[in-house]
Chains A and B, each alone.
Chain A
Amino acid sequence: MNKRTGPIISCHEISKFYPVGDGLFALRDVELEVPEGAFVVIMGPSGSGKTTLLNILGGIDRPTHGEVILKGRKFSRLSEDDLAMLRRTEIGMVFQFFNLFPELTAVENIGLPMRLAGYDDDAITQRTTELLEAVRLLDRMKHYPSELSGGEQQRVAICRALATRPAVVLADEPTGNLDSARSREIMGLFAKFNKEENQTFIIASHDRSFLEYADIVVRIVDGEIAERSDRHGTLI
């Protein structure tokens, strides 16, 4: 893989505890370092803590203990608004159920993070066009999400996540709501952007097809990292 050295995002001794009943550790002492340009796949059964980990890496949830560092910035020192502003330009997120804004067109959905980040209209137009071309949806740019298929919506969601060229894209079960053909399409897009733009991806998924593209595979069980390996299963 053509990757630069040094972790672009890392988490140290991350724990997430929920004081429900006798108490529940959704995550316990998770350590992870992700180099720039890496394609990381996090696998594990339902309830193992994949989504919680992604939320913490994305700054939309706070760990009970531990630290997340993105490009040298410690999340513990950032307020909620600081984290929101960080997400504008450094973190993109893709969800299982797409989470597009139904009242905005495809191109408007993609441009929204750029508007929040203060990009001018020309820059927004250029980048959104470029992304829509890359995912072959240029002719559907003015369609609303309700007028797009599931695969098309997820492609738009990926474009939105990539709009501001973030340091890392977090994807939580991005193919969970798609059929196998669309799922392969989406995986192909992730791989394309990872290879062509050196985009770092961290993907939580049950879909073993992602392993084909993975640089790092992290298996998480009951909130703890059970194993770190490459796509061939060699432990790292």
Chain B
Amino acid sequence: MDFSKLAMTEIRRNSTRTIVGVITCALAAMIVVLIRVVPEGYNVGVALPERTFSGGDILIFPAQAPLSSSETNMLTWRNWQGSDWQSHLLYYFKDTAKTGYLAEEACAGWRAMIPRELIEQLASIPNIRRISAYRSVPCIVGTDRGTVHAFLRGFDLEGHPIEPHLTEDPEKHPPFTRKDELEGIAPNVGRPFSSIEVGDVISITVPKVVVYRTASPSGLVPQLAVDWEGARSYRFVVSQKYAIQVGEETDAAAGAASPGPPPSIPIYWERPEFLVPMDVFEGILAELGALTAHEATGLASGDFDLDFPTYQLAVTVDRSSKIRETSRLIREALGSDYGVYPVAEARSHMASHVVMPPDMHTVYAALIIGFAAVVVAGNTYISVAQQKRKLGLLRVIGATSKNIVQYILTLVAYVSASGTFYGIAAGNLLYLITLIGSDMTLKEWLIQALGDFGKIMGLSVGLSLAIGFGIAWWASRLSCAEVLSHE
């Protein structure tokens, strides 16, 4: 028995209720498609600034920052006892210094990581172009205007290029070309750097970096510290300057003074990192005895890049459209002793403290679709309550309980399936916009859209039918005599 015509005519007769159900399902499906974009979907050109100063697309820290997570209740809080120069953790997750970080009971916690060990663990993950370590040491910059605390950073020139962010003409002032003097690129923001010019000579006092071991729940772990008693000063020529714009804000004062919309003023990354080539950085650390101390840790190799401890690794990917997937694979490979964050996710947290933890995406999707399913079920209940007489009549002419259930579930399935279809289609068409500037191909978009039709449609229709089944079962139990007696 085909109840589709009865169901379709019922759907058409109650068009308002049908439209409410369809629109609810459509909106739910569209939101589920689009929240996948947040916070990871970002234009490649927009992402470049963060990727430059972070050194890559995905950051790995030796601890999990306090983002909400479905696994939070399995983790414990620990006081963060690191230092600001060790990584960009505090730049992205400012609260960590106050609130601490999350770790499992048996995890090592905040410690320096050996790049080689992680690179080996991540060797089989696709889409990873390279993994580089963040190298920096606190320093004191001296100019004729005074001294200031800053960071001397060994900059990975093969990572993301600094050229787009140089403030002076690179043809006139090519960086890192001097052979007989130390040179570096100074930030163009903050005091005193904003008043330093290309060609100025500055002194940088660098402390000795000490590698030692501390106890942790999982045993002895390496840590880095600085020893100012072993400090040494170096003369650097400022060969270029850089400014990395990370956002904009409204200039309220200028807006108040003139008609029209207030202008925007750029916001620059203000972490005072003086950039030097990595080999220069390595040389300075070696001169100060850091590599000797590194050998004392018992590490097998003297390769600075691979074996010197670090508190931040940056993964550069081949395809930015695969960042979320790559991050997930890295998390799975490394486990809960590490925090793994796409730069966009970390940046969103920094800006708004609102971020979609990756494991919560599925939960939110289920909740949103569940809400839509409840709306559809509610509409169905109203529809059934108004159709009691008709259902009684169906029973009179021979419909069994199974037939009644089939009829009502047909109603539910039509509304949820059609609404979800429209929502997935609309969501994926909107998602196409994010392809502009992204390296996701049309074929990958199509595969993703088809996957959505399978997963989201299955979840939506499945949930609606599951909830609708209760209503259908109730309807199949209605007494014919009772409903027909009210003529």
Contact = CB atoms under 8 A, between A and B. Distances in A.
Interface string A46-89: 00000100010010110000000000000000001100110111
Nearest to A166: B398
Interface in B358-416: 389-390, 393, 395-403
Contact of B402 (A61, A81, A101, A104): A81
29 contacts: A55-B480, A60-B395, A60-B484, A80-B401, A81-B400, A81-B402, A84-B395, A84-B399, A84-B401, A85-B398, A87-B396, A87-B398, A88-B398, A93-B396, A95-B484, A95-B487, A97-B487, A99-B389, A99-B396, A101-B6, A101-B390, A101-B393, A103-B10, A108-B5, A112-B397, A115-B1, A116-B397, A116-B399, A160-B397
A158 to B, nearest CB: 13
Contacts of B398: 84-85, 87-89, 113, 116-117
Interface in B223-279: none
A10 interface: no
A118 B400 CA distance: 13
Interface of B: 1-2, 5-6, 9-10, 13, 389-390, 393, 395-403, 479-481, 484-485, 487
A129 interface: no
Given A60-B484, A115-B1, A115-B2, A103 B13 contact: yes
A104 B394 CA distance: 13
B397 A87 contact: yes
A174 B1 CA distance: 28
A95 to B, nearest CB: 8
A88 B487 CA distance: 22
B9 to A, nearest CB: 3
Interface string A103-132: 110001000110111100000000000000
Contact of B481 (A55, A88, A97, A101): A55
Nearest to A170: B396
B395 A88 contact: no
Contacts of A198: none
Contacts of B390: 101
Nearest to B10: A103
Nearest to B403: A116
Contacts of A104: 5-6, 9
B487 A96 contact: yes
A61 B401 CA distance: 16
Interface size class of A (residues with CB under 8 A): 20 to 34
Contact of A113 (B5, B397, B484, B487): B397
Lowest 4 A-B CB distances belong to which pairs? A88-B398, A103-B9, A61-B481, A60-B480
Nearest to A97: B487
Contacts of B389: 99
Interface string A156-167: 000010000000
Contact of B401 (A60, A81, A101): A81
B199 to A, nearest CB: 87
A55 B390 CA distance: 17
Interface string A27-63: 0000000000000000000000001000100101100
A103 B393 contact: no
B20 to A, nearest CB: 20
A126 B275 CA distance: 91
B405 to A, nearest CB: 11
Contacts of A61: 479-481
A16 to B, nearest CB: 10
A234 B311 CA distance: 109
Contacts of A51: 485
B400 A85 contact: yes
Nearest to A51: B485
Contacts of B396: 58, 60, 87, 93, 99
A121 to B, nearest CB: 11
A160 B400 CA distance: 18
Contacts of B393: 99, 101
B17 to A, nearest CB: 15
A169 B78 CA distance: 81
A103 B7 CA distance: 10
Contacts of B2: 115
Contact of B400 (A60, A84, A108, A112): A84
Contacts of A85: 398, 400
Given A101-B6, A103-B10, A115-B1, A60 B481 contact: yes
B374 to A, nearest CB: 27
A116 B2 CA distance: 9
A85 B400 CA distance: 7
Nearest to A113: B397
Contacts of A93: 396-397
Given A60-B484, A80-B395, A87-B397, 13 more contacts: A51-B485, A58-B396, A60-B480, A81-B401, A87-B396, A101-B6, A101-B390, A104-B5, A104-B9, A108-B5, A113-B397, A113-B398, A116-B398
Q: Which of B9, B395, B480 has the most CB of A within 10 A?
A: B480
Contacts of B480: 55, 60-61
